[in-house]
Amino acid sequence: MQQLAKDSTHNNWSQFLLAVVTVLTVSSIIVTFYNTMVLRNFVVVDDLDEAVAE
Amino acid sequence: MEILYCPWDPAVNIFFSSNVPLLIHYSHFIAIFSALAMALLIFMSNPRLLVSRLYLIFALLFSTWALLDVSLWATNDPALVMFSWSIQVLLEPLIYAIAFYLFYLYLYRRPPSLKANITVTALLLPLILLLPTIYDLQDVHLSTCEATEGPLAKYYTYFLNLFFVALLIWFGKKRIPQLEVGKRKIAVLFGAGLLTFLLSFTSGNIISSFTDNWVISQYGLFGMPIFAFLIAYSVVRFEAFQIKVVSAKILVVILWASVGSLLFIDASLLNVTIGLTLVFTTVAGYLLVRSVTQEFRQRQQLERLTAELEHANDRLKELDKMKSEFVSIASHQLRSPLTSIRGYASMLSEGSFGKLPAQAQEAVDRIKEASRLMSLSVEDYLNVSRIQSGNMKYELSDFNLRDMVMKIVADMRTEATHNGLSLTFNDTLGEVEGLTHADIGKTNQILHNLIDNAMKYTPKGSISVLVSALPEKRILRVDVKDTGVGMKPGTIEKLFEKFRRADNANGVNVSGTGLGLYIARKMAQDMKGDVTAFSRGEGTGSTFTLTLPLVA
């Protein structure tokens, strides 16, 4: 019985962790998407001329 | 602000462009297709199994990774490069983590402990939280549309990947030797499949990260269908699914994908792709042929065994018939001399040849009793022989069962009282007369047998006989309930087999052939009735029930 109760507490905490990781991951993906695809907030190294020269 | 693009045509339908090396589609789409197809097959075979679900998530994440990879090759938009690349950086360690969970679950049949879950979460958090920052990707080069990886992408993800691989190996080494011998081999196959999958998945990436040659990383994906197959196969074997059916489906899916993908291949690469398809076909074909051969051999073996069994069965039937004949002949041969012994013993005992001395009288009485028991046994053997040969004759007629039971109880009461037992009769027939359609002599014999047994196995206490009816089922029943030695539930059905007696019978009653109940049940069944027994356990008494058809 005690073991069962312990297992079930572990399960609850594990599920909570999984939920936290999922929420954070999805948020992070959304922020990354907004940052790159919408705001285009990144550095573009214009090395086209160098590439042509090479 | 002007939006800058890489120097090639924009992608068509996200995945196609002139910039994509020709082998990329072939390597990626087959890998995606085979991983998804196998995961779905496994999932649909048993959707409730955690391993099935996790394998599907694993395949989905891998497929997303591979699709993003193709889009990275095709696009000329630096924004999409930054986004897809970032998600790939995130997905890689997640795929490794799930591979570890999959293997752990496979080995231990339960999820890892809370401590392990906390550790994994803590390790993944920096990656998740810093994903949108320059610690992940620093910038993108316009000439190649390639990103410059930051420390997170360049070092931390590879550390995580290696960490999960190490965990996988560590748990595998620890757990596999503890498994049953049969499962060990499959577990090794599963672990090896996963490891090769992971290594071929990122070994190219690791090399590419440091050499900036991103073409190399594509070759690892060619092995993917085989590893996906290995993993699926071992899951199927380990979980005892319908192995052959699922494996055949998987093989056909791989072949279909390999041949179908030839349609998308550029003519200049046709030889390479046909070569690869040939490899898949050879492996799959070999496995299918082997499976069919095994099946064929097993069927041949089965047919041979069936023939042997049939022969053995015929021989057994013949032996049984011979045995029955022997018993029948022997019993008949015994019956005539026994009749003489009983007759003369009776005459001696009753003084037909003059009065016997007391000692001789006692000896003659013993001869009389012993020969009576012997003639009962012989009668039993003859009855068994008749039942088995189907020669038992029944003269069916309507008679009142209630009256018969009442008479038998009255007749046997003296003997019961003599043994210190009370024998009572009761009926709950109400308006039912108690008429049945059966053989009077045989019914009498069965009832005598049941009451006699109750007396033998009841050292003290009472025996009650109850006649009742179940009019809706057209059944009349006689319950003989005693307060005797009782029986274990397991022995009840054995009682009705030939020469079987209850385990505790010998302690109470030494005489008896073990045929009485067998004969009683067979006779009752032949008269469309039955004899059944019930007991709550040893020392709790028993109830034997005779049922016969109800006429009125």
Q: pLDDT tens-digit profile of B141-170?
A: 998 898 999 999 989 998 998 899 999 999
pLDDT band of A30, cuts 50, 70, 90: very high
CA-to-CA distance for B41 and B246, rounded, in angstroms? 7
Alpha-helical (H) ranges within B2-77 are: 22-45, 50-74
CATH number at residue B63: 1.20.1070.10
Contact partners, residue B190, CB within 8 Å, separation at least 6: B103, B106, B230, B231, B234, B235, B238
Say what the pLDDT of residue B154 is: 87
Contacts of A37 in chain B (CB under 8 A): 79-80, 83
- The residues that bridge with B462 in the sheet, in sequence order, are B422
Token code pair at residue B448? 């005598």
Output the average pLDDT for chain B: 84
Could you give the number of structural domains in chain A?
A: 1
The model's pLDDT over B289-311, given as tens digits with 9 standing for 90+, comes to 887 888 889 999 999 999 999 99
Contact A29 B90 (CB under 8 A): yes
Clarify whether residues B486 and B434 are in a common domain.
yes
Pairing of strands B146-149, B421-427: unpaired
As a whole-number percent, the residues of chain B with pLDDT over 90 amount to 25
CA distance A2 to chain B (A): 16
pLDDT at A29 exceeding the cut of 90: yes
Closest Cα in chain B, distance from residue A42 (Å): 6
What is the number of domains present in chain B?
3
A8 shares contact with chain B (CB less than 8 Å): no
- Kindly state whether residue B146 falls inside one of the protein's structural domains: yes
The tokens describing B342, both together, are 């009983």
Does A4 contact B at CB distance below 8 Å? no
Look at B139 and A13 and tell me if their CB atoms are within 8 Å: no
pLDDT-based confidence at B530, cuts 50/70/90? very high
Cα dihedral B212→B28→B233→B285 (10° resolution): -120
This model of the complex carries an ipTM of 0.88
Rounded to the nearest 10°, the torsion over CA B131, B132, B135, B140 is 120
- Closest CB from A10, A11, A28 relative to B128: A28
- Whole-number Å distance between alpha carbons of A26 and B131: 11
Q: Is B247 a domain residue?
A: no
B320 Cβ contact list (under 8 Å, min separation 6): B388
Same domain, B412 and B523: yes
pLDDT at B199 over 90: no
The percent of residues in chain B predicted with pLDDT above 70, rounded, is 89
Model confidence pLDDT, tens digit, residues B165-174: 999 999 999 9
Contact at CB, B86 and A36, closer than 8 angstroms:
yes
Q: Is residue B471 part of a domain?
A: yes
Residue B3 lies inside a defined structural domain of this protein: no
Torsion of CA B221, B222, B228, B233, to 10 degrees: -160
**Using CA atoms, how far apart are residues B278 and B282, in angstroms rounded to an integer?**
6
B350 in any annotated domain: yes
Residues A38, B379: Cα–Cα separation, whole Å: 102
Region of B102 on the Ramachandran plot (φ > 0 left; ψ -120 to 50 alpha; else beta): alpha
A17 close contact with B: CB closer than 8 A: yes
Which residue, B403, B405, B421, is CA-closest to B413? B421
Tell me, yes or no, whether B385 and B415 share the same domain.
no
* Contact flag A33-B83 (C-beta cutoff 8 Å): yes
Spatial CB neighbours of B231, under 8 Å, sequence gap ≥ 6: B38, B55, B190, B193, B194, B197
B387's tokens: 């039942």
Q: Which amino acid is at B181?
A: V
Q: What is the pLDDT of residue B392?
A: 82
CATH of the domain at B416: 3.30.565.10
Among the candidates B370, B389, B408, a domain finishes at B389
Contact assignment for A48 to B144 by CB distance below 8 Å:
no
Q: Do B132 and A31 touch (CB under 8 A)?
A: yes
Q: Does any domain span residue B274?
A: no
**Do B142 and A28 lie within an 8 Å CB cutoff?**
no
Task: Indicate if the pLDDT at residue B503 is higher than 70.
Answer: no
Residue B20 carries which side chain, given as an amino acid letter?
Answer: V
Which segment, B15-24, B88-97, B187-196, is predicted with the most confidence on average? B88-97
Residues B385 and B515 in one domain: no
Q: Among residues B241, B259, B292, which one ends one of the domains?
A: B241
Q: Does A6 touch chain B (CB under 8 A)?
A: no
pLDDT of residue B121: 93
**Measured CA angle at B211 (ends B207, B215), to 5 deg:** 70
Does B84 share its domain with B111?
Answer: yes
Select from B241, B270, B286 the last residue of a domain.
Answer: B241
Kindly list the residues from chain B whose CB atom is less than 8 angstroms away from the CB atom of residue A18: 117
Q: What is the CATH number of the domain that holds B348?
A: 1.10.287.130
Give the separation between CA B439 and CA B396, rounded to whole angstroms: 4
CB neighbours of residue B249 within 10 Å: 16
Whether A42 sits inside 8 A of B139 (CB atoms) is: yes
Which residues of chain A does B111 touch, with a Cβ-Cβ cutoff of 8 Å?
11, 14
d(CA B77, CA B8): 10
Q: Do residue B52 and residue B135 come from a single domain?
A: yes
Structural domain including B427 reads 396-549
Cα separations in angstroms, A45 against A54, B16, B76, B143: 16, 24, 14, 8
Picking from B82, B90, B117, the nearest residue to A36 by CB comes out as B82
Task: Please give the residue range of the domain that contains residue A40.
Answer: 2-53
Q: Is residue B334 part of a domain?
A: yes
What pLDDT is attached to residue B196? Answer: 80
* B76 and B204 assigned to the same domain: yes
Q: Positive or negative CA dihedral for B365, B368, B370, B372?
A: negative
pLDDT of residue B136: 93
Tell me which of B53-57, B99-103, B430-434, B530-534 is least confident. Answer: B430-434
The answer to whether residue B273 sits within a structural domain is no
Q: What is the pLDDT of residues B76-135, one digit of tens each?
A: 999 999 999 999 999 999 999 998 998 898 888 888 888 989 999 999 999 999 999 999
Say if A51 is an interface residue toward chain B (CB within 8 Å): yes
A22 touches chain B (CB under 8 A): no
- Do A29 and B87 lie within an 8 Å CB cutoff? yes
Structure tokens at B542: 């028993």
DSSP class of B550: B
CB B523 within 8 A of CB B467: no
| B83, B86, B142 ranked by CB distance to A44: nearest | B142
